[in-house]
A = this chain, B = another copy of it.
Amino acid sequence: MDQVDIFKALSNKTRLLILKWLKDPALHFPEQERDFSEAGVCVGQIQKKARLTQSTVSEYLSLLQRTGLIESTRIGQWTYYKRNEAAFQLLKEQINKEL
């Protein structure tokens, strides 16, 4: 994934919010009962909070995953998404150095 593509992923209000929400899932997704630390937050919870259609949010999550900024785990009928903090760390270092 190239730097421009990462900035493209970040240049959308909802996608940026999702990434920030996932920094502290317990705070932003109090409804979910499963432990966040394992796998993350499921699509439905994110969709409800984002107030966009299911298809749009699913598309956004898949796009974010392609950048490497988040990862998914399928458990039963749910897909859980969480941040890939290593990727964020790398991105920040790149930005601090190159930008």
Interfacial residues, chain A to chain B (CB-CB below 8 A) = 3-5, 7-8, 10-13, 16, 19-20, 88, 91-92, 95-96, 98-99
Contacts and interface: CB of A to CB of B under 8 A. Distances in A.
B96 A19 contact: no
Classify the interface of chain A: helix, strand, loop or mixed.
helix
Given A95-B95, A99-B19, A99-B92, A4 B8 contact: no
Nearest to A14: B4
A68 to B, nearest CB: 14
25 contacts: A3-B16, A4-B10, A4-B11, A4-B12, A4-B13, A4-B16, A5-B11, A7-B7, A7-B10, A7-B11, A7-B16, A8-B11, A10-B11, A10-B99, A11-B11, A19-B99, A20-B98, A20-B99, A88-B99, A91-B99, A92-B95, A92-B96, A92-B99, A95-B95, A96-B96
